[in-house]
Amino acid sequence: MYIQLTNAPRNYAWGSLEAIAEFRGTTPSGDPEAELWFGTHPGSPTQATATVPPAQDAYETLAEWIDSTPSLLGDALSAERRDLPILLKVLAAASPLSLQVHPTPEQAKAGFAREQEQGIALSDPARNYKDPYPKPEIIVAVSERFDALCGFRPAAEVAQIVDALSAANEPALAPLVDLLSDPTNIAVALDWLLAGSTEVGACVAAVTQLASAPTAADSPIADTFATAREISTHYAGDPGIIVAMLMNRVCLKRGEGLYAPAGLLHAYLSGLGIELMTASDNVVRGGLTPKHIDTAELRSLLSFEQAPADLLVPVETGPMTLYSPPAPFSLALVSPSGTSTEVALEGPSIILADSDEITVTDPSGSTATISRGDAAFVSGDVDTVSITGPGRAWVAVAHE
- Supply the residues annotated as catalytic: 285
- What interhelical angle do 222-232 and 198-212 show, nearest 10? 120
CA distances, 293 to each of 128, 243, 319 (Å) = 9, 14, 43
E strand or H helix that includes residue 111: helix 105-117
CA nearest to 224, candidates 210, 205, 239: 210
Beta pairing partners, 395: 332, 351
Cα–Cα distance, 299 to 190 (Å, whole number): 9
The Cα–Cα gap between 37 and 271 comes to 17
Counting DSSP H helices and E strands in the chain, the numbers are 11, 22
> What are the Cα distances from residue 380, in Å, to 1, 169, 236?
9, 62, 48
* Type of residue found at 310: D
CA distances in angstroms from 324 to 139, 152, 220, 252, 286, listed in the order given: 12, 23, 37, 17, 28
Chain mean position to CA 301? 17
Give the chain's end-to-end CA distance (angstroms, integer): 19
∠ CA 389-394-400 to the nearest 5 degrees? 130
